[in-house]
Structure 1
Amino acid sequence: MTTATDPSPSLIQRLRGLSTEVIKFGIIGVVGLVVNAGVFWACLQGQGLVKSLSGVIATAVAIGTNYLGYRYWLYRDRDAASRKREITLFLIFSGIGLLIENGILAFSVHVLGYTSSASQLVAKNVVGLIAGTVFRFFSYRTWVFKALPELADGEEVVSEAELLLAEQAPAPKAEAKA
């Protein structure tokens, strides 16, 4: 009597894989925070426009650093067929995460009336950061850095570009009967 084995991973195996992904995501996030703080501090030492835009400059550099970490370390085995699409989605979801963080801050100040520096720090850098990070984690892994489909034995990976070329190729002409 033979038994068939289920090719899909068990819940425990999936959770182990997810926990590793969460840890790596967190490491990249911490690196991004350090880069953000360092660039912010360096820009504050400058003058004029650099000092005025220090928050924007620091966030942009941190987003770029995070993208490199996600693409070349955490999600290096994921589909990279369309970098333009990937980068566009990454920037969109990073922006939404930024809005979530600052939206929580605005809600705590303007609706709840928490105006002290300590309460604003907690709202933005604890509650907002956690909510924004959870959003980014699931959006990046679901839409930005998409997993490659599982392949059966003998199948090969075909990129989106190859599929488009195949669709645009002229169909073979039927031979005329004599």
Structure 2
Amino acid sequence: MNRFTRLAPLIAQLAKFGTVGGVAFIVDISVYNLLRLTVMPDYPIGAKVVSVIVATTVSWLGSRYWTFKEGRNDARVREAFWFFLINAGGLGIAMGCLFVSHYVLGFTSQLADNISGNGIGLVLGTAFRYLMYKFVLFRAAPEGEARGTHRTEDERVERSA
């Protein structure tokens, strides 16, 4: 088996992740800037929270039903809870970048807010989310174990003994 054949599934998954992320990014940027230009001109953090919630919903649907469909579990509510919790971590990263830029460094223009929250924060938050999705939330079930069953290591050892 050549190196490309082994990497092909990972490359395909990364391409899907990037596509879903690109769509969610457009939703995030669009909602954020629409809110800043209309009902939340003086609330960059609040606008970011709302835009990320909307974009996270789009991202969950794309991740669950397309990017990581082989790793999703049957417990949709639990999966959605953890997905949104992981995305809260990504939001925290983006908000931290925005907060430092806007309130600590004093870069208060809409362009500066977009660069810090939607540029730097996006890159750092995306890396965090991908790793959490792949290795925690949407990991494939171990061979012989049904998806949607979350067993502890002790339960796996007991079951195999």
Shared fold, TM over 0.5: yes
TM-score under structure 1 length normalisation: 0.64
Q: Aligned pairs, how many?
A: 147
Specify the code of the residue in structure 2 equivalent to 1:27. T
Picking from 82, 85, 90, the partner of 2:78 is 85
Structure 1 segments of 4+ aligned residues over 6 angstroms from their partners: 41-48
Question: Taking every aligned residue pair, what percent have the same amino acid on both sides?
Answer: 30
Shift of 1:106: 2.1
Cα distance in 2 for partners of 1:46, 1:121 equals 16
Q: Secondary structure at the match of 2:27?
A: helix
Determine the structure 2 residue equivalent to 1:25: 17
Counterpart mapping for 1:1-178 below 5 A:
12-39=4-31, 55-111=48-104, 113-117=105-109, 118-150=111-143, 156-159=144-147
Q: 1:23 to 1:101 in 2, by over 3 A?
A: same
CA contact (8 A) 1:114 1:120 kept: no
Structure 2, unaligned runs of 5 or more: 41-45, 156-161
Cα shift readout 1:60-104 (whole Å, capped 9, x = no counterpart): 222111111000011111141322321111011100100101112
Q: 1:62 to 1:16 in 2, by over 3 A?
A: same
Structure whose residues are more often helix by fraction: 2
CA contact (8 A) 1:40 1:58 kept: yes
Cα distance in 2 for partners of 1:42, 1:115 equals 20
- Superposed CA RMSD: 3.4
Q: 1:104 to 1:43 in 2, by over 3 A?
A: closer
Bigger shift: 79-88 or 98-107?
79-88
Q: 1:80 to 1:67 in 2, by over 3 A?
A: same
Shift of 1:143: 1.1
